Structure 1
Amino acid sequence: MTQKQVAVIGGGVVGVCTAYFLAAAGHEVSVIERHQNVAQEASFANAGVIASGFATPWAPPGVPAKMLSYLFGSEAPVMLKPTFDRALWRWVRRWMNESELDRYRINRDRIHRIVFYSRDILRQLRDYYQLEYEQTQGVLQLFRTEKDMKSAEPAIALLAESDVPHQLLDADGARAIEPALAPHTALAGGLYMPQDEAGNCPLFAKRMKQIASSIGVQFHFASEVQAIEPESRGVGLQIDDKKFSADAIVLAAGADSVPLLKALGIHLPLYPVKGYSATALIKNFDQAPQAALLDEAYKVAITRMGNRIRVSGTADFASRESELLDRAIRTLVKVGYDWFPDAANYANATFWSGASSMLPDGPPLLGATPIRNVFVNIGHGSSGWAMAAGSGKVVADIVSGYAPEIDMDGLTMTRYG
């Protein structure tokens, strides 16, 4: 391997992990981030769930039939309003086409390949550096009705096919895992994933930033890349009003990667999808969750983070702005009160929204692009935290000229031609 000067564009958890592994491989690495610290956008207040078994494409079989109800429901996991945004409707059409069972299986297998690898890499990092990031063990999916349980049967069967450890529980079994679940909320059963976990994503990213800095990574904050220009021996970067050169760059800036790639002639169906969260201080620890849960009906996660509860969810295609939509907030508050009504005052929580970049089929894009010395680590959607460590290691291996430790079929730019 030849040592390279590598610029990583984007300081979210994906970019930080990429920078760490590049530096660990012997490269001279700089991270370019437009905010004042790492993990300030999609990584900032996300659900924190690292649920390998639940990391699946967002277009499961049957989703087209549900879209109409999502359009008019007062509380719904997906918000999509009538609009003349042609890019959105092209994306939605491709997304729905991926819901066919055969396509879903292919996409799920690709996602699982990187997610399970990432889980192993994360555990190695945690054990080696003795990392603490408010992590909890186990994730419990809650089914409010028998219909919800029935709808989940194909996904559960796929877990069995993949030898993913899981336990299908009745209502009593689910309450044994989480005794504080409210007795008045309808509960048909649950699906427990003992090997999955949750944790504070920005806390992890900041700890990894410290470790990366200790092995030579330079972080440049309040710096925004305006353009990328191929050069004879590397890549040029226009940062604010100055020009810099690097041997290679890795784009890990989520949806902000799109205009930079477009200027290079690379067009990808990457679309920003907003998610929301409510983070509230626990007022009654006996009535708070012990770990992480997923409400299947509303596609909302409830995560315990130290002395706080975070309720997260909603896929918002309705707005690209940063405002908090009342409909999304109502959904989060409702789910919090439904399951753990005495644990916190959710109405007075700290609310947040942030956009994740999503591809219609689901798996991320990792590695080389048609432009020499330009690499990508993008398109992780809402599973960026679950894929960050493995994606960073894979891309660092590719930049270094090494073969990745997993099969890269369907995880590279070639799947989009």
Structure 2
Amino acid sequence: MRIAIIGAGIAGVTTAYECAADGHQVTVFERRGSVAAEGSFANAGLTAPGLSLAWGRTSLADLARVGNLAWGWRRWRAGRSKELAERHERLLHLSLYSHARLQELQRKLQMDYERAEGVLVLLRGEREQQAVLASLALLEHAGVSAQALSAEQCLSVEPGLNQATRLHGGVYLSQGEAGNCRQFSHLIRLAAQRLGVQFRFHTTVRKLKPGTPATLIHEYTPPDSLAEPSRLSEAGDSADGGDTKPAALGRMEDSFDAVVICAGAGAASLLRALKLKAALTTVHGYSITAPLRQLEAFPDLGPKAGLLDLREQVSISRIGQRIRLAGGIQPGQADERFDDARLAQMHRTLDDWFPGAMLSTQVQRWQGSQALAADGLPLLGASGREGVWLNLAQGSPSLLGWPLACGAAKVLVEQISGRKASSETPDTVGLDISRFS
């Protein structure tokens, strides 16, 4: 089959790889000059089965009040759905499947990127601990490894934690990791290219016509300067575009047996043109990245792997020799302005747990946008329009995207190919767009 992928973030490149590994001819269309140039550029980099479901979406409830009222109403209704609990369980199985696929790709492709194993959820008070403990049975039933820890046990996992900050306890997700999502995306892209995947960078999809075949109208749209600006405050994205297929000027038309929309926040216009009501909104989050301070007298100054402060909804990740803070989810597209109050909150959270660990003179700040469905679940599967498939809304830009990417891509290629799902493939019924019809 000839398959087109729209979007080259973490969802797009993993889908491209899986389609090519399945023997299909794949072309990826990306409006930026490289893979992982938008929502996957500097996200938290946390992947852990269960984190997305049980605690990672806590702050999203506030979006129903401060975001678009119509979407807030849909979110309220989605929360009352009788099928929501069943869909949450399916999401858990998908996240476990995705974790297993990520590990398989690491071994098979001998992937070397910045990563550290384990994610620790920090609980500041009794109320948070009770809420988390109530969900541990669900995680255990799904096969997710989640160990409740005392404050003392948390220190054994992360010995650099500031003991002056009150800590009621924690939950350790041993299957998780903190890693460099952008590095991973580039490695998957190289693996996809070796399988014949063609990338069309600086290319905007103007129109999508469903059918057999489906038709794409696209146009080469290079920026005014090849030094395309990113959302980092101090430096641009210096990664080469590596366009593997020369682009002609003017609008072009190509036909494909299947088109997969993986464009994240950029998918809204395509869905509207297809008259698809997906109950999506756009949210953005922030990250702060800076070198880890190295002091011989304090070898445990910073984090060993990944942490999530549940109350503050701020993650702290070890990315090689750097620290990354992520959080501050807000409705709407990212822009050139940064919310100083949100950034200050993230700095305070780091100072609570790892005071003095970051070299604040070399800070890079970033914003990234993501599509978010009203029920907080991904949009995965057939779109209801012939030849068009969806791999969208894998969660908030601060926590999700990567945890589901490898598994969602593998599931989707089986659906596109029309094969019967294997016994290992998770059931994703209820995670497609039909739940909003």
For normalisation by structure 1, the TM-score amounts to 0.89
Q: Any idea what the Cα deviations from partners look like across 1:206-232, whole Å, max 9, x if unmatched? A: 000001000100011000111112355
Compute the displacement of 1:163 (Å). 3.7
Query: In structure 2, what is the Cα distance between the partners aligned to 1:267 and 1:243?
Result: 26
| Comparing 145-154 and 196-205, the one that deviates more | 145-154
Aligned to 2:4: 7
Q: Which residue number in structure 2 is paired with residue 189 of structure 1?
A: 169
Alignment partner for residue 344 of structure 1, among 345, 348, 358? Answer: 358
Q: Which residue of 2 aligns with 1:31?
A: 28
Q: 1: CA distance between counterparts of 2:57 and 2:255?
A: 43
120, 126, 131: which is aligned to 1:151?
131
**1:360 to 2:407 alignment:** no
Residue 97 of structure 1 and its aligned partner are, at CA, apart by 3.9
Which residue of 2 is the match for residue 124 of structure 1? 104
Deviation at 1:242, TM superposition (A): 2.3
Matches within 5 A, 1:250-399: 250-284=260-294, 285-317=299-331, 320-346=334-360, 348-382=362-396, 383-399=400-416
Identity rate of aligned residues, in percent?
35
Contact 2:31–2:203 (8 Å) recurs in 1: yes
Give 1:377 shift: 0.7
Contact 1:57 1:363 in 2 (8 A): no
Q: Residue 287 of structure 1: SS of its match in structure 2? A: coil
What is the distance in 2 between the residues matched to 1:107 and 1:401?
23
Instruction: Find the aligned partners of 1:272 and 1:323 in 2 and give their Cα distance.
Output: 17
Aligned mate of 2:430, from 406, 410, 413:
410
Letter in 2 for 1:34: R
Map of 1:17 onto structure 2 = 14
1:3-54 residue CA offsets vs partner (Å, 9 max, x unmatched): x111100000110010011111111101000111000111110010001121
What do residues 141-192 of structure 1 show as CA deviations (whole Å, max 9, x unaligned)?
1111223212323222322333422221111111111110012111111111
State which drifts further: 311-320 or 384-393.
Answer: 311-320
Q: CA deviation at 1:61?
A: 8.7
- Partner amino acid, structure 2, of 1:24: A
Match in the other structure for 2:148: 168
Q: Which range is displaced more, 280-289 or 211-220?
A: 280-289
Which segment is superposed worse, 160-169 or 54-63?
54-63
Q: Against the structure 1 CA distance between its residues 34 and 236, is the aligned structure 2 distance closer, same or farther, given a 3 Å change threshold?
A: closer
Alignment RMSD: 2.3
Q: Aligned partner of 2:335: which letter?
A: E
Contact conserved, 1:121 with 1:390, CA < 8 A, in 2?
yes
- Residues 235 and 63 of structure 1, relative CA distance in 2, 3 Å threshold: closer
> Retained in 1: the 8 A contact 2:314–2:349?
yes
The whole-number CA distance in structure 1 between the counterparts of 2:6 and 2:406 is: 16
1-structure distance, mates of 2:117, 2:360:
24
Change (3 A) 1:346 1:199: same
Q: TM-score, normalised by structure 2?
A: 0.85
Q: Give the whole-Å Cα distance in 1 for the aligned partners of 2:304 and 2:349.
A: 16
Contact 2:128–2:311, Cα closer than 8 Å, also in 1: yes
- 1-structure distance, mates of 2:85, 2:193: 40
Shift of 1:400: 1.4
Do the aligned partners of 1:98 and 1:104 also contact (CA within 8 Å) in 2? yes
Q: Could you tell me how far 1:413 is from its partner in structure 2?
A: 2.1
8 A Cα contact 2:211 2:387, kept in partner: no
1:198–1:104 distance in 2 versus 1, CA, 3 Å? farther
Q: Which amino acid aligns with 2:376?
A: G
For the residues of structure 2 that align with 1:154 and 1:101, how far apart are their CA atoms? 20
Aligned equivalents of 2:266 and 2:9: distance in 1? Answer: 12
Per-residue CA distance 1:230-287 (angstroms, 9 max, x = gap): 3553323333522222222110001211211211121211111111111010113530
Distance change (3 Å), C-alpha of 1:20 and 1:63? closer
The answer to which of 303-312 and 253-262 deviates more is 253-262
> Partners of 2:341 and 2:433 in 1: how far apart?
36
**What SS class does the counterpart of residue 381 from structure 1 fall into?**
coil
Provide the aligned length of Structure 1 versus Structure 2: 397
Shift of 1:337: 1.1
Contact 2:118 2:175 in 1 (8 A): yes
Provide closer, same or farther for how the CA distance between residues 26 and 318 of structure 1 changes in structure 2, counting only shifts above 3 A: closer
Correspondence for 1:71: none
Q: 2:157 aligns with which of 177, 202, 206?
A: 177
- Alignment partners' CA distance in 2, 1:361 and 1:212: 32
Q: How far is 1:316 from its partner? A: 0.6
The alpha carbon displacement at 1:57 in A equals: 6.8
Contact kept, 8 Å, 2:291 with 2:362, in 1: the verdict is: no
Matched residues in 2 for 1:282 and 1:62: separation?
A: 28
Partner of 2:225: none
Q: Measure how far apart 1:308 and its partner are.
A: 0.2
With over 3 angstroms needed to count, the CA separation of the structure-2 counterparts of 1:156 and 1:266, relative to structure 1, is same
1:41-77 CA distances to partner (integer Å, 9 max, x unpaired)? 111100100011211177979986xx4xxxxxxxxxx
* 3-state DSSP of counterpart to 1:55: helix
